Structure 1
Amino acid sequence: MHGKRQSAQISLALLIASAITLGMLVLTIVLIGQSFRGMETAKVSAAGSTARQLAISVDDRIQAITAPPSTALAVLSHDSLAGAQTLAQRLDRLPVLADILTSSDIVSAVYAGYQNGDFVLLRKVRSSGTLQFPDAPNETRFLLQTITRGGEETPGQWRFFNADMQLIEQRPVPEYNYDPRTRPWFNAARASDSTELSAPYAFFTTQETGITLSRRASEETGGAGTIFGIDVTVTDLSTQLAELRQTPNTRIAIVNQDREVLADSGNAKEPGPAISGALDRLGDHMEGSSVTRFSAGGKDWYGMTEPLGALQQEGLSIAVAIPSDELLADVWAALARQTVIAGLIALLLLVIGWFLGRRVGRPLEHLTDQVSRLSRFRFDTPVRSDYNIREARQLSVALDDMAKTIRSFQSIATVLNRGQNLNHLLRDILEQIIHIVGQERGGIYLFTRQKNQLSLAVKQNLQLPDTISNVQADSDDNEIIRLLRRNISGHPVFAVLRNRRKQLIGVLAIEMEVGDHTQLSDDLIVFVDEIAGSAAVAIETRELIESQQALLEGIIRLVANAIDAKSPYTGGHCERVPKLAQMLVDEAMASNDRAFYSFTMTGEQLQEFHLAAWLHDCGKITSPEYVVDKAVKLETIHNRIHEIRTRFEVLHRDAEIRYLNRVLSGDEEAAADQERQATLARLQEEFRLIATANQGGEFMAEEDIEKIRSIGEQTWMRHFSDRLGLSPDEKNALQPSPEAPLPVTEQLLADKPEHLRPWGEHIPPVRKDDPRNRWGFDMELPEYAYNRGELHNLTVAKGTLTDEERFKINEHIVQTICMLDALPLPDRLANVPKLAGTHHERMDGHGYPCGLTAADMGIPERIMAVADVFEALTAVDRPYKEGKTLTESLTIMARMVEDGHIDRAVFELFIRSGTYERYANQHLQPGQIDEVDESLFMKPD
């Protein structure tokens, strides 16, 4: 409960401050989000505008690149170089070509191609800042490449010149077989009267990317078919594009319609994923612009493309890809600054809200301290607050009223829950309800269904009739109240009490004499009805509990009576042991001995012990009657001594017949008679021995056992079938053995196979390793369920029971535990099976059925064992023994103490408290009550 209360606590000051701060933060987040969207859009729009400006700049640059060379080419088309037929004539015009090269940084070569395939080209050794010919001699500034066809020398010649056009080295190049007539620039200019501009391509010698301006020579020069050309590199465009980047990693590229890169800010030869994404216009299109947002190479990019106006026939375009994080870097920096400012404002608002919350929450904190007493069940605490905050004052008044209501409910709930006796419960209910409604007098009637009347159960300061007759059980509340008003004067308020099944069980009457009863509020009437309903349920519950208790007691009596009807001997035992055990428990609780100093039992535990004592031998219901009451050794359903007597009668007549046969055959009559008389006397003595052994006793000598076995070896002749007139059980027992042909000789006493009864499927779960044994039984199981052999029974050394029958007797405690454990006993009676099932355990662990030791048993279990033993020793209604005197019984019990059978402390309490004597006066025969020397049985300290 406290954990839940703590998890729900929150400071009002913190709540107010948090609410203000949270509102500010939400507003700030919204504004920052909108600001971010606006700045992002602005940045993207700026990037798009930049791309368009960049396209214009590139267009201008391309125009700037191509305009000067075009002018120079127009002048060169009128030069005499066009008509020069020999290499020497052409070399004379080299200064003109050198002037064109030196006049422009972007012109990399000037050349002339002739109709016959000759070719003259002057180029810069260093173009676009890069040395194109590393193997050129030092100080080389220009390289002249010539092809002269038809001469004896090598057609291809390279000449290296310095800045003053002085020849440094001449080098034949046999592999230089360039033919201008096969080049696109040559063919384009030959078919045109104006300057032609080629598409960007890789130059033949240097592999630089550039464009070629070509023009056909003027006819006046005499060089018909000669084509002049100027190579212009665009490599420096990549450098210029890199300078135009908005961010360090922005990619800018100029590509043609075949997606070939002409210039790239990163000097790349291929478009790359970023430029490809921009060209393909992948990703999301940004609203209001031509910019797209896409991912490439594991990064986010903004991409845009713009067509170039220059070289329209080539379909050039410029593509820009800007990393998202770099483009928005300024945006994020601005957002960070705004966030810091917003955080400082929120902190300030938090402090302001904290102070405001403290001012508002101070009265509530005081009220909380008072209400916390209610949470600690101090409902008598007045809850009042004198602060000027209206809500706090109203809350305190409501809580104070609630505390009073809770006190009323607490009082009535205590009465309803704790009432044990029905009369006391009714009186307490009446007092509490009268107090709750602020009155002084009232009464409760209970309905008697058999008499159809209301009987006054309890009243307080009010004169009421003892009974109200002619009340029908099926009457509705209004009819009952009208009947009550005719019999009860004054101004009472009635509440009809009904149980869960809406059956009438009584009426509550309260005399309304304090104040104006006509002003009784509807809420109070409803409250009284509801409380009365709870009282009705409590009354019904108490009646059910008492009925349940009575039913349980009745079942116990029923079981005892059933045992008594089956065997009056054990029935008396079941009645006497609980009385003796209860006497011992009372003495143990009152004793100051060290062994019992802390021993006590609650009312429920006493009830549990009482039930266990009554039911401690209930398992004997399953024990065969002839085993429980077996008075002689040969007894089963009947005493089989009569069968054996009949056999002796047969032997007796056989002796008479032998005597007569001897006399008839001529033998001496005196000798024959002497033999007859000796045989008859022996038979009488042998039968007397067997009959005496059949009665059982404390001990049977071994020599008597041998005599019985010897007697049993005598034979007699059976002339009648033993398979006729049998029960199914007897037939099943004889089935494995074939019937012998008649007449058959049989022993006088025998243990026959049919005397054995196997367990079959009815093996009890008493062995420790039996998976069915969930109770902890640990008993030795005989090989057979029963052994009815005559010699086996007659030679029992002690008492009348065989080992099989003694197990069957002992098994009653197993059945007791199993039967009681199967009952749906409530928790308060959960120990009944244990208490009832341990009275045959021993302190030394050699008892049954579980082999418990003294450490495993409490005082109630030890008391039960002592009570069971003493009752069994002194009982006079057992068929197999006589009841012993007090001294004899206590002497035997003292030996049992020494042997570890029963508990010494309980035994000495039994003697010292005089319990044995009080019990003897109530249940023993006068002849059993002798003078007892208690000192003989008390162990000296």
Structure 2
Amino acid sequence: MTESIKNYISTSMTINRIGVALSAEKNAGMLIKIILKGVMKIANADAGIIYTVHESGKVTVALMHIQSRDLEVDSHSNGDDPYNALVHSKVIKLTGSSIFNNVSINVPDIYHSKGFNFSINMCFDEMIGYTSKSSLSVPMKNHENEIIGILQLINAQDRMTREIIPFSDDDEKVAQNLASVAAVAISKNKLLEDFKLLFDSLVNLIATAIDEKSPYTGGHCRRVPDLTMMIAGAACKSDHASKLETIFDRIHLLDERFEILKRDAQISFLKNKLSLLKNNGDALQHEMDCHLHTFIEEIEDDRKFLHACNSGRNLMGESDQERLRKISVKYRWTDPDGNEKHFLSESELHYLSIPRGTITDEERSIIKSHVNTTSMMLDSLHYPKSLRNVPKFARVHHERMDGKGYPHGLSGNQIPIEGRMIAIADIFEALTAHDRPYKRKFSLTEALSILGSMKEDGHIDPDLFDLFVREKLYLKYAEQHLHPEQIDDVDLSKIPGFACTV
């Protein structure tokens, strides 16, 4: 009687521990291990195996524990072990009735049982020098009554003599109940994984749809997360594109106009020179040569000035803007249709006169509005607790460390670290993207130099930039996403803002 009471108390405590684990344990693999060891203790079994039945029909050993041998096989830690290789082809034969007829199989001796094939256990015995005798196999069903696994107990032991005995009816009932609990744990874990995969798939689908809407930004939403994960995030915006980039860089059109001006000047000079030769005007020829040379130099100087304006790297002062206006009307050129025009159109003058950067106030307003659109879209979604900060991280990746970013003008530690990381990834991807025909792709050295300057200007997080360079994350990203010609040998000592230590 006393022994029965002890067993009852021990069983109750084991079931209570399993109940606590159900609510507290987040790791499904650990929970299954607790359940298997618990049911082994209640039934006083020396060994236990949990098999997983996959949707494809393949069966694998999820967990095997043999107490007397201190042996444990866990598929989560070693999915290529020889036991799994063995079970793939033979486990269905082991418990065919258990799987397909939803019944338990309780046999006193697997080596003398009729109607069941326990060759898998016999193979285990041969591999590890073990002797399986009594066996209890119970199907594990999910909430849709589908068989998702099998719980098998091996070698029940008499609590006093340790002799191998058959499993009792009570053992079978307990095993059935706890097999259901284990099935719930496995199903819950699979549902969570499925929902996570579904969520990730939806995010990728939406990102792809947004990117594919523009043929010039495809891949951006795939590459930025890759780089963000490498440096643990990204946040900010800036792109030293050129001011005349609108689907293609129009600075070459200005070069063509300058060439036309030089050609016209040279033709006019030759005509005048020919006329002077006919009229014996030798004295004026030298003066004309000097005038042509001066004019060509002036054209070249103005052309270089327009290129500098177009780069967007320098601040455009009032004197620079005044010079632009003069150049605009200083030269006249004739288009292919024979129309004479000012050298710069109103649109070109407008873009080249941008005081700083490469975009107009109107374009900047449009760009900034996408943050508000992003916020509205993300805020409309319901997130699990682990993802509730996603909208906050996304909306701050255009803030700057010096407080001059948008939309809220946050600075320093007011910007979440995740957002600061996203910024660096966003900028570096934009600088090195090779699928945007309207801008040239930068090499690693050029991109890192621009990032370094942005660090010095208070644009990006200095510590994250140093981490990005020091750990050569740029190279890891480049090997996966950049063209070979972009991957040059970076001299870190020449990167602005980075203290190179050897």
| Structure 1 length-normalised TM | 0.37
CA distance 1:444–1:572, shift in 2 (3 Å): closer
- Work out which of the residue numbers 488, 496, 502 in structure 1 matches 2:139: 496
Superposition map of 1:263-412 within 5 A = 407-412=13-18
Measure the CA separation in 2 of the matches of 1:876 and 1:847: 19
Deviations 1:517-571 (A, max 9, x none): 66833x6534432321221121122133234445656777888999799377897
- Work out which of the residue numbers 366, 388, 393 in structure 2 matches 1:835: 393
In structure 2, the partner of 1:715 is 332
In structure 2, the partner of 1:697 is 313
CA distance 1:747–1:479, shift in 2 (3 Å): farther
Q: Which has the higher helix share?
A: 2
Tell me, yes or no, if the aligned pair for 1:420 and 1:542 is still in contact at 8 Å: no
- Work out which of the residue numbers 719, 725, 746 in structure 1 matches 2:341: 746
Superposition map of 1:105-120 within 5 A = none
CA distance 1:680–1:654, shift in 2 (3 Å): same
- Work out which of the residue numbers 545, 553, 572 in structure 1 matches 2:192: 545
- Work out which of the residue numbers 458, 462, 469 in structure 1 matches 2:63: 458
Measure the CA separation in 2 of the matches of 1:918 and 1:820: 34
Amino acid at match of 2:348: E
Tell me how far 1:407 sits from its aligned partner. Answer: 3.6
In structure 1, the partner of 2:360 is 802
In structure 2, the partner of 1:790 is 348
Tell me how far 1:709 sits from its aligned partner. Answer: 1.6
In structure 1, the partner of 2:230 is 579
In structure 2, the partner of 1:196 is none
Query: Aligned with 1:466: secondary structure?
Result: helix
Superposition map of 1:496-515 within 5 A = 496-511=139-154, 513-515=156-158
Deviations 1:273-293 (A, max 9, x none): xxxxxxxxxxxxxxxxxxxxx
Query: Aligned with 2:157: secondary structure?
Result: coil
Tell me, yes or no, if the aligned pair for 1:632 and 1:696 is still in contact at 8 Å: yes
Measure the CA separation in 2 of the matches of 1:708 and 1:819: 42
Query: Aligned with 1:440: secondary structure?
Result: strand
Amino acid at match of 1:804: E
2:178 counterpart of 1:531:
yes
CA distance 1:458–1:869, shift in 2 (3 Å): closer
2:241 counterpart of 1:631:
yes
Query: Aligned with 1:800: secondary structure?
Result: coil
Tell me how far 1:446 sits from its aligned partner. Answer: 1.2
Tell me how far 1:508 sits from its aligned partner. Answer: 0.4
Amino acid at match of 2:46: E
In structure 2, the partner of 1:436 is 42
Tell me how far 1:890 sits from its aligned partner. Answer: 7.2
Deviations 1:660-689 (A, max 9, x none): 776898896966965666655544443343
Deviations 1:607-652 (A, max 9, x none): xxxxxx37x68xx9xxxxxxx8773221111121233344445545
CA distance 1:840–1:669, shift in 2 (3 Å): farther
Identity within the alignment, %: 25
In structure 2, the partner of 1:211 is none
2:482 counterpart of 1:930:
no
CA distance 1:426–1:873, shift in 2 (3 Å): closer
Superposition map of 1:749-898 within 5 A = 749-751=344-346, 789-841=347-399, 846-852=404-410, 861-862=416-417, 864-865=419-420, 868=423, 877=432, 883=445, 893=455, 896=458
2:168 counterpart of 1:520:
yes
- Work out which of the residue numbers 242, 246, 250 in structure 2 matches 1:640: 250
Tell me how far 1:806 sits from its aligned partner. Answer: 3.7
Deviations 1:418-442 (A, max 9, x none): 4444443332221122223343321
Tell me how far 1:790 sits from its aligned partner. Answer: 0.5
Query: Aligned with 1:796: secondary structure?
Result: coil
Tell me how far 1:470 sits from its aligned partner. Answer: 5.2
In structure 2, the partner of 1:206 is none
Unaligned stretches of 5+ residues in structure 2: 72-82, 107-114, 122-131, 159-163, 434-439, 477-487
| Structure 2 length-normalised TM | 0.64
Tell me, yes or no, if the aligned pair for 2:354 and 2:360 is still in contact at 8 Å: yes
Superposed CA RMSD in Å reads 5.2
Measure the CA separation in 2 of the matches of 1:474 and 1:848: 60
Tell me how far 1:808 sits from its aligned partner. Answer: 4.5
Measure the CA separation in 1 of the matches of 2:23 and 2:429: 46
Measure the CA separation in 2 of the matches of 1:688 and 1:406: 87
Tell me, yes or no, if the aligned pair for 1:408 and 1:436 is still in contact at 8 Å: yes
**Greater shift in the superposed pair: 535-544 or 844-853:** 844-853
Tell me, yes or no, if the aligned pair for 2:105 and 2:136 is still in contact at 8 Å: no
Measure the CA separation in 2 of the matches of 1:647 and 1:745: 12
Measure the CA separation in 2 of the matches of 1:821 and 1:698: 38
Deviations 1:773-819 (A, max 9, x none): xxxxxxxxxxxxxxxx2111122333433333444444454454344
Query: Aligned with 1:426: secondary structure?
Result: helix
In structure 2, the partner of 1:733 is none
Tell me, yes or no, if the aligned pair for 2:28 and 2:189 is still in contact at 8 Å: yes
Max Rg structure: 1
Measure the CA separation in 2 of the matches of 1:798 and 1:880: 21
In structure 1, the partner of 2:471 is 919
Measure the CA separation in 2 of the matches of 1:650 and 1:916: 47
Amino acid at match of 2:420: A
Amino acid at match of 1:641: I
